[in-house]
Amino acid sequence: MKHIGIVACSAEGAALCYQTICREALAVVGKNDHPRITLDSIPLARWMPAFDAGDYAGVARVMLESARLLASAGADFAICPDNSAHLAWDHVQAETPIPWLHIARVVGEEARRRGFRRVGILGTRFTMGGGAPFYRPVLDALAIETIVPDPADAETVDRIIFAELVDGVFTDASRDFYNRVIARLADRGCDAVALACTEIPLLVRPEDVPLPTLDSTRLLAKAALREALTGG
């Protein structure tokens, strides 16, 4: 089995990704067994100044610091359970010592497999801003349209992520708000919604919302497990 490296950004999303790999492995690897996993967590406080400045070369420097550590620990490939970090993808790929899986590509392949044609994108202001800049080209290539919430909804979605979710705070009021945002995306013709922030699946319950959900965190974890076991 290949050794999985996790480049952690927020604790909540990285923990969910790690846990999902281990739980999914129970069925396909065996009891108490899973691929070797090394996780490196550089504090979110180190990432945020670059995010806020739109300095994605700076975000990449943080990611590459982790990638080099993971490579030295023996990881065969890397994943980052943080959607917004993928805005730095090109910078990372120019210098990475090991291959990566791209979270939007994983989500896009699942959307195509399930036959979706118009996907709403929920995430941080970085992920949603500019019309989902790293999701849109991936989904466009699959003939899937991307829709983001209107500006007022997007602002509150982002505020809840950074004021609550990254700190492990999950309230009924915030859950109800997200559910209403998803309902408005359904009204705009979306046939699915991508939970394109790795903490959102800890808040949104698929059974409560009017659209099928694409859980970016768990989909990335499952893709990493497949890569570790089969090479893709």
What phi and psi values does residue 16 have, to the nearest 5 degrees?
-65, -40
10 Å Cβ neighbour count for 27?
7
| Residue 96 and residue 183 share a domain | no
| Residue 86 and residue 120 share a domain | no
pTM: 0.96
- Report the run of H or E that residue 167 belongs to, with start and end: none
Boundaries of domain holding 203: 104-216
Could you tell me what percent of the chain has a pLDDT over 70? Answer: 99
* pLDDT tens track for 182-204: 999 999 999 999 999 999 999 99
pLDDT of residue 131: 85
CA-nearest of 116, 115, 121, 76 to 103 is: 121
- CA 151 to CA 232: how far, in whole Å? 37
CA-nearest of 213, 22, 8 to 107 is: 213
What phi and psi values does residue 146 have, to the nearest 5 degrees?
-110, 140
| Residue 110 and residue 97 share a domain | no
CA-nearest of 88, 86, 154, 87 to 120 is: 154
- For 18-48, the DSSP string reads HHHHHHHHHHHT-TT----EEEEE--HHHHH
What is the residue-averaged pLDDT of the chain? 97
Q: Which residue type does 44 have?
A: L
| Residue 156 and residue 84 share a domain | no
DSSP 100: B
pLDDT of residue 135: 96
| Residue 204 and residue 115 share a domain | yes
* pLDDT tens track for 81-134: 999 999 999 999 999 999 999 999 999 999 999 999 999 999 999 999 988 899
pLDDT of residue 232: 56
| Residue 59 and residue 11 share a domain | yes
Q: Which residue type does 15 have?
A: A
CA 6 remoteness from chain centre: 12
| Residue 75 and residue 22 share a domain | yes
HEC per residue, 111-123: HHHCCCCEEEEEC
* pLDDT tens track for 39-54: 999 999 999 999 999 9
| Residue 109 and residue 91 share a domain | no
| Residue 95 and residue 141 share a domain | no
CA distances from 216 to 65, 169, 198 (A): 24, 19, 6
pLDDT of residue 213: 98
DSSP 74: T
What phi and psi values does residue 155 have, to the nearest 5 degrees?
-65, -40
| Residue 130 and residue 54 share a domain | no
Strand partners of residue 214 = 194
With H, G, I as helix, E, B as strand and everything else as coil, classify residue 7.
Answer: strand
| Residue 122 and residue 52 share a domain | no
pLDDT of residue 86: 97
* pLDDT tens track for 146-157: 999 999 999 999
Count H helices and E strands in the chain, helices first.
Answer: 10, 7
Q: Which two tokens stand for residue 44?
A: 């979110």
Q: How confident is the model at residue 165 (pLDDT cuts 50, 70, 90)?
A: very high
CATH of the domain at 65: 3.40.50.1860
Domain count, the chain: 2
**Average of per-residue pLDDT across 170-178:** 98
| Residue 139 and residue 71 share a domain | no
